[in-house]
Chain A
């Protein structure tokens, strides 16, 4: 139990620090690298929550495929110069204030939520076997529709991206 709490706090601090690094670093490449580190921390949380399949999928799909796509685009555009134009101070300040106020409102609303603990007994609902059973019986229609979504997204990306 102690090692799980220590891992929880380590992953929490890592996720928050890396998320702050995403929005504060000037260089887009280091932003992408910070975001990959955030995804690894979130994957660690998934594994702590007995969602092993989602943890692995998060690393493969997000950190492996999506962020590599971002890196390719940034390097293709030659954006890795540090001379990125900044919004003026007032708009940055307003953005921070509005995000912080949203956080405070939800914090105040959720402060009195009943403290049901996420128990740390190991369950096996996060394994591929159980998730696959649920996915291919109860949620088979959304699964098929998502394949159509992927096909249309693929065709759309090609049509938008091709030179005329």
Chain B
């Protein structure tokens, strides 16, 4: 399987994640699109790890998963607190930092 196929697949997944983050207004969906982008990068790293027969890329994927798990824990806590304050997760309402 040529490396270009993996390159284009992960690029397509990354761009779908970007489109979702720009299109949607629900903060949780935007968060999920960021997870999708992280996974696209992970897939490309694993493909390169196979291509060069190097285990370091898979360790990097492991660390990306660690950081993503920590990010999800803190981010969802922030979203839950925002929901408690304004009773919505619509990002057009969550612009209090402007004022």
Contacts and interface: CB of A to CB of B under 8 A. Distances in A.
Interface of A: 4-5, 8, 12, 15-16, 19-20, 22-23, 28, 31-32, 35, 38-39, 42, 45-46, 49-51, 53-54, 57-58, 61-62, 65-66, 69-70, 73-74, 76-77, 79, 84-87, 91-92, 94-96, 98-100, 102-103, 106-107, 110, 113, 115-120, 123, 125-126, 130-131, 134-135, 138-139, 142, 146, 149-150, 152-154, 156-158, 160-161
A138 B25 contact: no
B19 A95 contact: yes
A70 B8 contact: no
A87 B42 contact: no
Given A28-B29, A39-B39, A51-B58, 5 more contacts: A12-B9, A23-B33, A94-B22, A110-B11, A116-B2
A161 B77 contact: yes
B1 A8 contact: yes
**Chain B contact patch, size range:** 35 or more
Contact of A135 (B16, B50, B54, B62): B62
A110 B4 contact: yes
B43 A42 contact: yes
B25 A125 contact: no
Contacts, number: 225
Contact of A118 (B47, B55, B79, B89): B47
B7 A103 contact: no
Name B's interface SS. Answer: helix
B53 to A, nearest CB: 6
Given A131-B58, A160-B81, A87 B25 contact: yes
